[in-house]
């Protein structure tokens, strides 16, 4: 497990900035002097407290499977792909949100995009192609995606029109349980 290099940090922060309002709150120090850091192990980026990351240095890289919260994976081409395991962090700091009705939660969790008919409400002034977190009407995070239309365009859309393209949803824990945490 090692700290991210400068280009890797830039790629990760660029991806997170698409979904979040304030990246400084992710790495701000606590009152006790501890803070969260980003670490890389087997091409996966982890978000972990510094004190725990320092203790993990005594474990060999091959023996260490996971530490902290897995945010995603750095691909061989240098891009960063967010995993569903990053949802609690994204939901807490999300800039744009879409709330789906109960009749739209199940199709979303089965891997479908969000249609306008399933939207209960959404954040105002949401631009097109920006990251958003999908929540149930009870404020339970279900997944995240990218808006297909801006809020103004989505209001004029027919009920079957796509409002949000699904990137990841909680159903992946069941659908991809064999490969989600593997190499």
Note whether 68 and 52 are within 8 A (CB): yes
Question: What is the residue-averaged pLDDT of the chain?
Answer: 90
pLDDT, one tens digit per residue, over 76-98 is 999 999 999 999 999 999 999 99
Q: Is residue 76 part of a domain?
A: yes
Domain match, 97 and 38 both? no
Q: Is residue 119 part of a domain?
A: yes
Domain match, 20 and 60 both? yes
pLDDT score at 140: 95
Domain match, 95 and 78 both? no
pLDDT, one tens digit per residue, over 111-148 is 999 999 999 999 888 999 999 999 999 999 999 999 99
- The burial class, CB within 10 Å (0-12 / 13-18 / 19+), for 78 is exposed
Q: How many Cα atoms sit within 13 Å of 98 on the Cβ side? A: 35
Domain match, 76 and 97 both? no
Domain match, 98 and 168 both? yes
Domain match, 96 and 149 both? yes
Model pTM score: 0.87
pLDDT score at 65: 80
pLDDT score at 71: 93
Strands 131-136 and 141-147: antiparallel
The total of structural domains in the chain comes to 2
pLDDT score at 181: 65
The band of 183, judged by pLDDT with boundaries at 50, 70 and 90, is: low
Adjacency order of strands within the sheet including 97-100? 114-115, 162-169, 141-147, 131-136, 97-100, 119-122
Q: Is residue 183 part of a domain?
A: no
pLDDT score at 182: 64
CA dist 168 and 51 (Å) reads 30
Q: Residue 30: which domain range?
A: 2-82
Residue 147, domain CATH: 2.30.130.10
Which helix H or strand E contains 51, and what residues bound it?
helix 50-55
pLDDT, one tens digit per residue, over 62-76 is 888 888 999 999 999
pLDDT, one tens digit per residue, over 13-63 is 999 999 998 888 888 888 777 899 999 988 899 999 999 998 888 888 788
């Amino acid at each position: 497990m090692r700290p991210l290099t400068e280009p890797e940090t830039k790629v990760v922060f660029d991806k997170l900035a698409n979904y979040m309002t304030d990246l400084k709150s992710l790495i701000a120090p606590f009152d006790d002097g501890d803070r969260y850091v980003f670490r890389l192990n087997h091409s996966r980026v982890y978000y972990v407290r510094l004190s725990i990351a320092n203790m993990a240095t005594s474990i060999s890289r091959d023996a260490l499977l996971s530490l902290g919260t897995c945010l995603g994976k750095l691909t061989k081409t240098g891009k960063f792909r967010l995993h569903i395991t990053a949802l609690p962090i994204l939901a807490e700091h999300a800039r744009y949100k879409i709330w789906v009705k109960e009749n739209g939660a199940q199709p979303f969790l089965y891997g479908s995009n969000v249609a306008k008919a399933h939207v209960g409400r959404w954040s105002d002034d949401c631009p097109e192609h920006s990251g958003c977190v999908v929540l149930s009407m009870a404020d339970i995070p279900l997944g995240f995606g990218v808006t297909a239309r801006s809020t103004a365009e989505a209001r004029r859309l027919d009920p079957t029109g796509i409002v949000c393209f699904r990137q990841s949803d909680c159903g992946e824990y069941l659908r991809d349980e064999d490969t989600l945490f593997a190499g």
